[in-house]
Amino acid sequence: MHVHDLTQNEIAAKGRELYEQRIRATVEANHHGQIIDIDVKTGDYEIDDEHLEAARRLKLRSPDALLFAIKIGFPAFARIGGRLRIQST
């Protein structure tokens, strides 16, 4: 299977593998809380406070990049969900 044929789940798995095995130890201490975008085809990455800025820089270098993003030092990029609290008057 070529990297171009990866599903979204496979891209996420490859990105997490690259992060854990090759990148995390290098970036976590100095970039905690920032966003890292990783090109799963090449292993290249960019770090920024803003996800879109990191992604833009990677895409400028490699327009065909397959990107995976994660918030450094956290198990997920963002939290989805929550609770709606309605205050009574």
CA distance 79 to 88: 27
pTM (predicted TM-score) = 0.81
H helices, E strands: number in the chain: 3, 3
Segment 8-16 shows an average pLDDT of 93
Contact between 69 and 41 (Cβ < 8 Å): no
Residue 80 pLDDT? 53
CA atoms within 13 A on the CB side of 85: 2
Residue 1 pLDDT? 46
Residue 75 has pLDDT above 80, yes or no: no
Residue 5 pLDDT? 79
Model pLDDT for residues 18-71, shown as the tens digit of each residue: 999 999 999 999 999 999 999 999 999 999 999 999 999 999 999 999 999 999
Which residue ranges make up each domain of the chain? 3-71
Q: 65: how many CB neighbours lie within 10 A of its CB?
A: 19
CA distance 41 to 1: 12
CA distance 47 to 31: 8
